[in-house]
Structure 1
């Protein structure tokens, strides 16, 4: 015991001379190894490593010699030179009978190739874990964006916003759900590391015991696997901590800044705060000489450039209309030519629904401007796009139920009112047998019916229909026509675009023919027929060119007043004639 007290005083004296803190705790123990093995299970290796960096033990060897041992804990990388410095200071002070203090500088040698290979072996497992974690996390992150991208591509998101869903609500609900789902996934992810911990390799007590018992044997690889340095054990022992000097505060701050930046760009895009800049760019593009040249060439090739009298009269009526008491008023809306698809009327419908920006003119729906506030203008508008804007992972009934809730049927009426309304729409569009099936199992005709049902939810006052019967068989097309006829009889205004003249004639009370992005004629079906349908074109293909004269004479005899427009002579001839009661139209060569 006297030796222990002497060692304690010696340690305190040397530590004080080295500038140690006044609250330095020095315990006196019997055997250091036994004490360490007893203490670690009680306080844990992390506390032991932080508060017990050094230990010294003096023992007698024979009658005239003593053995002085210095122990260090490698939790702190500077403990080996510190242990040697204290041990030498105590021994020299004891021999010289006066206080001696040694100052030691620790400068490790540069690592050699053998050290690099040894460190590489230590970090192989941790590197493999890092790579696998990164790969698995990439799949998890991609899963969060998949549904949002799918909704954007299929235009389902636009349909939801058009039905009344606020953009901020859309993004916040998506974020809240993804955040909760992410927390659950991360909890399970971290839990796997603890659930599959292998005691012999990851238990801290086993590590310490292995270091003290058999770590000095360089030939026993199995024994030294559990004896890594503290920075090597951080991969499994300290998953939720960071041992660097700066900690994790700086990365968290930058992640927060990055998050605010993402939210800013999301809402900037949703609320189109940069629409003025885009409009200026469009105006600059439209004033470009190359564009004007192409536009002039288009007019020259397109033939008719004079404005029809019916169109001029309709423009005057539109300008004089009361925007508050009229369902849809369109004033000067233009969409520059889409050179790839030439979908002029589809782009016009997209402008009316807010999907595309209006570059010129304006449109009003029940007194609200589509150009300045399309969400309020389209609050009472149903939209059936050209392509089915539905999520195929949902059933038809779930889709209609979702849009019924977005339309604003009171929550207190659920499930009675919403269910009744949804069932009424299902019965109207005729998909009762398939309502509870996934949409991806629907045929093309049933998908078009479902798209029509989405437009009918809430019985809006205006229906915008962009080729609603595209890809539908004749029987289903006739059923959809009957639905439109019934809806129109209830007082709903229909705006329909179609390539099918039979469809337009069956459903529309007023027709407008669009060429190169602008109306060329307007009026009722009978009015357009009477004005532009007086005459026909006859095309004759002959096997031999010498038969041309006989064919011309026969046509003139059968159709008095017919005019020969074009005659081409090749290995065979072609005679094109036109019979026109008004004698104002001529035929064209095909």
Structure 2
């Protein structure tokens, strides 16, 4: 047997390995069915692929020439993947080189992830192949994986393993020895700055640290090919920058493929950038190449003063570039697009601008080259159609339907409808959960009812009437003049059963034993018999007949029947001459006695009490279902978003209560119907079933413990707990019902023999007398077995809990409670000694204005906004005013205080100190009014998963007071504007992250709010969608809205924000327009020189010497085969001078193919100012 089990184990193992190899499922590359007989499977492939020459691109005009001095690490050859009839990847050919980072860009659905899955062996290509580190992915994936590291988009880690254990585990999997693994572990922990977390479990790490750990896993073990799928997602800009520096150091000796949604990340890291669209590769080359190919030229941004005349500035520039285009004109900035083909006039034009800057009231200016985002948009498939469609959609923002608000009772009805639809639709879509909720009590009822119903047990089981039911019985036999031989038969039957038999005169023996040992007589002498002859006359005959006199002890309840049974069996055996023959006597039906019934009812041992126990136990679980939705709504912040939209607190909670109460009644009715079907006493009529209105839980009181002096006070206290109170009411109601039924039956029997109730009670046991003598018919009495106390206490608790909810929601008791619990004194902003001049100036201006001046000048104004969490200062004395037509940006690392500031401004948390006004309403006192004029797009989507996008917009529109028909039209309009019309009827849980953000933004726009809060609105969007969404926000801002924005995308802030502030440790570190901050903090610029491919190394030296002579402060930051990248930290060199030097170099040095010049980015400002928080 053991040998067969071992053999079976090996057989099943072989079969499992074979099936796994041939049919790997969704993820994996299948081997041919005959793979066990191939030599390559057992011996491996000893030779690498030799054909790794670069394949020519389809359209060389959009593909930069391949580098000739680098080794190909990954070569993709006509790779194709088809799902059904749709090609996810179409004939993709691309080379990736060692010592380089290749960035793969594309919109959602472009084919990036599918390409990564094919390269890593997770899915099989439909056609084509790829050579990874010399091995074919279709024929030798095992060898490919030995040298590959992967960092997926989502964290795939072991929650219970530490950081050290993760790196050790994966390094060992990749073939490193123990000593090498220890070195590798120490190296990467130090490199990722995870020393303090090396022994922490992965579950305890922050999101950014988990991304670092995933990157460690990909790089460790000498991975030659590394695939990184959005490795910096969820990180703030400073954390991303640290990871960029690490990747730039680690790319030596590796081939790295990276996908990202951040264009600045692709720009900095990408040695070569490939852009996909609709499954096809559209272009590939360096950032410089792509910007020159697709770019619109340079962007000139002017930081203008309050008295600057934009028309005069434009006229000056048009003197040099007649077709110059004004890109934007805000209160603080003026920007122009400068065509690159007119770069030769830049020097003279900028000199003229610099000389007249004071006259034109121009504070400063800066120049930047086309961003990579613009390249991405232009390189996409069907670009002209996409741009035209997006322009048309964003222009529809101007035509948003203006709300026609309802008020009074119509508004109340509208909000009630919204709250009802929310609950009803969520219940309908979660039908499995609600089915369990409805049938669970019924299942518990069936569990108790079905067994007894099927078996038919209503009383005690049949009781055999034999001497075996008694302990060591003794039988007395008196022979007399027995003539029939029954004596011998009687004696023999008793001895066969093993009973003790004694002989003699029964009367004499009983008299003697009763005097000596009465207890023994009572317990052991159960039956006896005397055998005689009697003369019986029949007609004319007189004859002597044998007779048996049966004796029995009248103490045992069933002794007469037992005595008669023993005697009759003796006669049967004598007549039939069969010693094995017998008659079996049983007592059936065997009902409970009145005493027993009363005792069982009082103790809760009756069947009715068991039914109550099971059903009320089921209702404990049922009550949890009502909490689940409310908790989930509060956790995902949907409840707060509904309040921000204008939901009245009483309506929210009353509709919730009514909906839950109705569903609870339905559950009760279903349970009652089930009980009625079984026709169980006490549960079969409408009058009986009323006691089941108190079904929650059954808690029994233990009377046998003799703790009445303790249990009575505890009982009164516990009546304040709803579950206990209702369970107690159910128990007491059933006891009252059962006593009534039992006593009425007894009184009817007594009436038949002419006894009244008092006389009847005198002839029963004390237990029955006590139960029936004190019985009153009312269920609702205050005394014992009444439920009057339960009803009163439950009503009091219900009212108190409702009052408590409203006190909490209206924030009436939070501050007194905090003062009482934490003993907090009023907390004020902390002094900031190194405050920036612009921040201090803004603070002084806000403090010196009265509240009337602030509300008339600004749509949003805060003065000394401060938030403490106990003793932790999260936000410290912020003062700023934001006007209409402004987009104010809040930047900062994670934990800087941005989200806390948003929560205070939207009423999610109370400010500790300070004051604020939104559209003239005080934030402290008039938040309900503020909610009517603001729109809020939170950082994390506060949406209900069960609702569709259409239903979500309709719900919030009804809350705002729209008619339902108008709400549906508005939903379609917003879906068109934000470009998610095709997803309008999808449930939220089925939508992608980017489309969820669009829906959250649509909710913020409902009702045409004047002030809009966007907390990282573009997170999860691909670059094309981000670009489109920014256009929409720009249109909204230009309509006269006041917008407050936070984002980790710094390019996004550069485009949208008219002013911004960078927060560090809860303080404003700087404040002003983007160009003002660049000129102030991002000193210097960066320029790139493109060298002709055919040029020799000596030419590069000539260029380097020219730059050193003309711009000695320039530092060579990067040097590639055909690119030289310099940075200048001295901001005193005029832009006109730098353009003049570079333009002269291009004319005099033939080997310079092109150049670009741009100012430092906002990222440099951010990193320099947030360094203190990181430290």
Q: Please classify the TM superposition score into its range, dividing by the shorter chain length.
A: 0.5 to 0.7
Tell me if structure 1 keeps the 8 A contact 2:638–2:942. Answer: yes
Tell me if structure 2 keeps the 8 A contact 1:331–1:362. Answer: yes
Q: Specify the alignment match of 2:614 in structure 1.
A: 132
How far did residue 521 of structure 1 move? 0.9
How far did residue 325 of structure 1 move? 4.8
* Structure ranking higher on relative contact order (CA contacts 8 Å, 6+ apart): 2
Tell me if structure 2 keeps the 8 A contact 1:365–1:378. Answer: no
Which of the numbers 351, 362, 366 marks the counterpart of 2:915?
362
Q: 1:124 to 1:318 in 2, by over 3 A?
A: same
Q: Specify the alignment match of 2:860 in structure 1.
A: 328
Give 1:255-270 correspondences, 5 Å limit.
255-270=794-809
Give the SS at the match of 2:909. Answer: coil
Which of the numbers 632, 641, 644 marks the counterpart of 1:162?
644
How far did residue 188 of structure 1 move? 2.3
How far did residue 308 of structure 1 move? 1.3
Tell me if structure 2 keeps the 8 A contact 1:323–1:366. Answer: yes
Which of the numbers 1010, 1017, 1032 marks the counterpart of 1:461?
1010
How far did residue 439 of structure 1 move? 0.9
Q: 1:231 to 1:512 in 2, by over 3 A?
A: farther
Q: 1:122 to 1:529 in 2, by over 3 A?
A: closer
How far did residue 126 of structure 1 move? 4.2
What per-residue deviation string (whole Å, max 9, x for no partner) do you get for residues 323-345 of structure 1? 14521111111234459961501
Q: Specify the alignment match of 2:1057 in structure 1.
A: 508
Q: Specify the alignment match of 1:12 in structure 2.
A: none
How far did residue 282 of structure 1 move? 10
Give the SS at the match of 2:989. Answer: helix
Find out whether 1:189 has 2:684 as its counterpart: no
Q: Specify the alignment match of 2:1073 in structure 1.
A: 524
Tell me if structure 2 keeps the 8 A contact 1:560–1:579. Answer: no
Tell me if structure 2 keeps the 8 A contact 1:335–1:344. Answer: no
Q: Specify the alignment match of 1:65 in structure 2.
A: none
Q: Specify the alignment match of 2:21 in structure 1.
A: none
Q: Specify the alignment match of 1:316 in structure 2.
A: 844
Give the SS at the match of 2:1017. Answer: coil
Give ranges in structure 1 of 5+ residues lacking alignment: 1-113, 213-228, 233-237, 300-304, 538-553, 564-576
Tell me if structure 1 keeps the 8 A contact 2:643–2:649. Answer: yes
Q: Specify the alignment match of 1:444 in structure 2.
A: 993
Give 1:179-578 correspondences, 5 Å limit.
179-197=661-679, 245=784, 247-277=786-816, 280=819, 285=824, 305-319=833-847, 320=849, 321-336=853-868, 337-338=873-874, 342-409=895-962, 411=963, 414-415=964-965, 417-535=966-1084
Quick one: distance in 1 between partners of 2:1036 and 2:779?
A: 62
Quick one: distance in 1 between partners of 2:1042 and 2:682?
A: 77
How far did residue 180 of structure 1 move? 2.2
For the aligned residues, what is the CA RMSD?
4.4
Quick one: distance in 2 between partners of 1:454 and 1:282?
A: 38
What per-residue deviation string (whole Å, max 9, x for no partner) do you get for residues 447-481 of structure 1? 11110010011111110111111222223222221
Quick one: distance in 1 between partners of 2:944 and 2:907?
A: 21
> What is the TM-score of this pair, normalised by structure 2?
0.32
Which of the numbers 626, 635, 639 marks the counterpart of 1:144?
626
Tell me if structure 1 keeps the 8 A contact 2:839–2:1070. Answer: yes
Give the SS at the match of 2:854. Answer: coil
Quick one: distance in 1 between partners of 2:683 and 2:901?
A: 68
Q: Specify the alignment match of 2:292 in structure 1.
A: none
How far did residue 280 of structure 1 move? 4.5
Give the SS at the match of 1:250. Answer: helix
| Larger radius of gyration between Structure 1 and Structure 2 | 2
How far did residue 241 of structure 1 move? 8.1
Tell me if structure 1 keeps the 8 A contact 2:896–2:1065. Answer: no
Quick one: distance in 1 between partners of 2:845 and 2:643?
A: 32
Give the SS at the match of 2:1040. Answer: coil
Quick one: distance in 1 between partners of 2:679 and 2:645?
A: 52
More helix by share: 1
Q: 1:278 to 1:359 in 2, by over 3 A?
A: farther
How far did residue 129 of structure 1 move? 2.4
User: Higher mean Cα deviation, 256-265 or 267-276?
Assistant: 267-276
How far did residue 432 of structure 1 move? 1.1
Q: 1:258 to 1:438 in 2, by over 3 A?
A: same
Give ranges in structure 2 of 5+ residues lacking alignment: 1-594, 686-740, 750-767, 772-776, 876-892, 1087-1104, 1116-1126, 1134-1164
Q: 1:243 to 1:185 in 2, by over 3 A?
A: farther
Tell me if structure 2 keeps the 8 A contact 1:282–1:359. Answer: no
User: Higher mean Cα deviation, 465-474 or 252-261?
Assistant: 465-474
How far did residue 393 of structure 1 move? 1.0
Quick one: distance in 1 between partners of 2:615 and 2:1070?
A: 64
Q: 1:349 to 1:138 in 2, by over 3 A?
A: same
Give the SS at the match of 1:437. Answer: coil
Give 1:39-188 correspondences, 5 Å limit.
119=600, 123=605, 125-126=607-608, 128-188=610-670
Give the SS at the match of 1:322. Answer: helix
What per-residue deviation string (whole Å, max 9, x for no partner) do you get for residues 109-140 of structure 1? xxxxx979x95999264454234213310122
Quick one: distance in 2 between partners of 1:123 and 1:160?
A: 50
